[in-house]
Amino acid sequence: MKYEPKGPVHGKILVIDDNPIIQRAVYFMFRDHGYKVLMSGDIADALNLIRKELPDLILLDINFPTETAFDGGSIRDGYWALDWIHRIEEARNIPIIMISSDDPALAEPKALATGALAYFHKPIEKERLMRLVMEIIPPRPAPLPMNLAAALKLSPA
């Protein structure tokens, strides 16, 4: 599922989380700051989206129910998905932020050791996450007007 931002697009963020509440919250947060948001509730769909869309950043949940996991449910977590994403040549360098409600003392070191750029515990600290995202994908300035009449309206008198 794709969601377009209002105004200039700064970059694409893929959210891989089976929780529609998290998806919706992240969608509004990033859309309102000029990011195109792609969403997936399962790992297999997300891997297809990554190949097709090549997002600039991925937010990846750690836990998935069996029915949304990859390979008929034999692979059930975001750690595996992160490893698999790094095997996709064109996606190898996409930064990944892992999110989870798991015990941060256990989940964060494992996420970072697996190759995540950062870890956020749910409920997500929105301001901290937004700062990190803006460092990874800096906002782009609005494009200049394409015609002279519009440009003259912008110039000081």
Domain spans in the chain, listed from the N-terminal domain onward: 2-154
Instruction: Report, as an integer, the average pLDDT of 68-94.
Output: 80
Percent of the chain with pLDDT over 90: 55
Q: Which residue type does 63 have?
A: N
CATH assignment of 2-154, among 3.40.50.2300, 3.30.360.10, 1.10.287.10, 3.40.50.300: 3.40.50.2300
Q: How far is CA 4 from the centre of its chain?
A: 14
pLDDT at 133 over 90: yes
DSSP string, the chain: -EEPPSSS--EEEEEE-S-HHHHHHHHHHHHTTTEEEEEESSHHHHHHHHHHH--SEEEEESB--GGGSBTTTTB-BHHHHHHHHHHSGGGTT--EEEEESS-HHHHHHHHHHHT-SEEEESSP-HHHHHHHHHHHSPPPPPPPPSSHHHHHHHS--
Cross-strand pairs, 99: 61, 120
pLDDT reported for residue 147:
56
pLDDT on residue 61: 95
